[in-house]
């Protein structure tokens, strides 16, 4: 499904609300930039680059500030048959994944956590619990339930 830039920006805003308050606070330090597609990919998809973290990681000095870039056309393509709410869920996973890079996770670590989250949503958990390995290991991104 194709969205206008404004519609997609609203979906990103909804995705951010799915993150914990601590993760949302990190976005004060790591802005999100929306691009059509990765640079150098005119007229074709980059096949798998939905978002990208660049710049300094937390606590590091770098001449480049930290930033998360979301690639709208690639996200739209991957989610082309999904309802809006699933696109928003996927965007929240992408943002969480990129924030893990900001916190120091390498690609393998960030992908492992993301993959466990996505797999748990498909397969479910024993005893009706929906908490994934991602949430157990990285509660930083989980909304608190007032406990």
- pTM equals 0.74
Positions of E strands within the chain: 32-35, 51-54, 67-71
Identify any residues that bridge with 52 across adjacent strands, giving them in sequence order.
Answer: 69
Identify the helix (H) or strand (E) that includes residue 14: helix 5-17
Q: How far apart are the first and last CA of the chain?
A: 38
* Tens-binned pLDDT, residue by residue, of the chain (147 aa): 789 999 999 999 999 888 877 888 888 999 999 999 887 655 555 556 899 999 999 888 888 999 999 999 999 988 888 889 899 999 998 998 898 898 888 888 887 765 443 333 433 333 344 444 344 334 444 443 333
Enumerate domains of the chain plus CATH numbers: 5-141 (3.30.2010.20)
What is the rounded distance in angstroms from the CA atom of residue 102 to the CA atom of residue 38?
A: 19
């Amino acid at each position: 499904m194709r969205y206008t830039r404004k519609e997609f920006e609203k979906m990103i805003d909804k995705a951010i609300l799915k993150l914990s308050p601590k993760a949302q606070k990190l976005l004060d330090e790591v802005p999100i930039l929306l691009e059509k597609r990765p640079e150098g990919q005119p007229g074709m998809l980059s096949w798998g680059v939905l978002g990208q973290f660049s710049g300094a990681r937390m606590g590091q000095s770098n001449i480049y500030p930290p930033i998360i870039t979301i690639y709208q056309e690639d996200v739209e393509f991957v989610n082309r048959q999904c309802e809006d709410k699933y696109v928003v869920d996927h965007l929240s996973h992408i943002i969480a994944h990129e924030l893990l890079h900001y916190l120091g996770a390498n690609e393998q670590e960030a992908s492992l956590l993301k993959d466990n989250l996505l797999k748990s949503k498909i397969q479910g958990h024993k005893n009706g619990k929906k908490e994934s390995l991602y949430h157990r290991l990285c509660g930083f991104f989980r909304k608190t339930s007032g406990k």
